[in-house]
A and B are shown apart, each in its own frame.
Chain A
Amino acid sequence: VQLVESGGGLVQPGGSLRLSCAASGFTFSSYAMSWVRQAPGKGLEWVSLTGSSGGATYYADSVKGRFTISRDNSKNTLYLQMNSLRVEDTAVYYCAKRGLGGSGSPNWFDPWGQGTLVTVSS
């Protein structure tokens, strides 16, 4: 099982960025997926989760209305579209696979990708 994030970088406040997470080694379409971020020197903050089909999506209040999670099961890829970025969105963004497949499974995550750094600064 492997998760590889990409798309991070430096962006100005108010800008946009799209993160991708390429999955391999498991049946991607059977698992809910999530984004979790970690600001420099800080703890973990859950950002968003999507169900296995992409029909159900959930967000932290801090990103609701600005970020959109989506997935393409034909490409085994998870996305996070980030708009109206703020300085406080600066963090390493991890994608993570729900530990168990199926709807209604508990939301613990295994494994996690290596992360991609998003820096929001002028």
Chain B
Amino acid sequence: EIVMTQSPVTLSVSPGESATLSCRASQSVSSNLAWYQQKPGQAPRLLIYGAYTRATGIPARFSGSGSGTEFTLTISSLQSEDFAVYYCQQYHNWPPLTFGGGTKVEIK
């Protein structure tokens, strides 16, 4: 099973600043990585797939990078609606499909 590790667990950022979230895989997942955003009481929403391709309707301030075992989600100029929990998910080697533990982006 591929273990996904996200860091930091919590990230405190001021509105307008950028945020960098990390996701590490226990073995290579190539570019088979997705990012999701989840707000309290809501379902997860797809942000990025294929490590860097934005999903339909996702603003350009969200960008993904990386391949192999190290991935980054960058949110530039954070807006109020961006404060949420973010999860990475690998779909390279499954079952099982595995998610990271999440990074909570909170207002500083």
Contact = CB atoms under 8 A, between A and B. Distances in A.
Interface of A: 34, 36, 43-46, 49, 58-61, 94, 99, 106-115
A60 B98 CA distance: 10
Interface of B, secondary structure class, is loop
Chain B interface size band reads: 20 to 34
Interface string B70-108: 000000000000000001010100111111111000000
Interface of B: 32, 34, 36, 38, 42-46, 49-50, 55, 87, 89, 91, 94-102
Most central of A44, A111, A115 by chain B CB within 10 Å:
A44
Contacts of A112: 43-45
Contact of A114 (B34, B43, B94, B102): B43
A94 B43 contact: yes
A43 to B, nearest CB: 5
A108 B45 contact: no
A49 B95 contact: yes
B89 A108 contact: yes
B95 A58 contact: yes
A115 B98 CA distance: 19
A38 B36 CA distance: 14
A110 B82 CA distance: 19
Given A94-B43, A108-B49, A111-B46, A43 B91 contact: no
Contact of B32 (A43, A106, A109, A114): A106
Contacts of B55: 99, 110
Given A111-B45, A115-B43, 15 more contacts: A34-B97, A36-B44, A43-B87, A43-B101, A46-B96, A46-B97, A46-B99, A58-B94, A99-B49, A106-B91, A109-B34, A109-B44, A109-B46, A110-B45, A114-B43
Given A107-B91, A108-B34, A108-B89, A49 B97 contact: yes
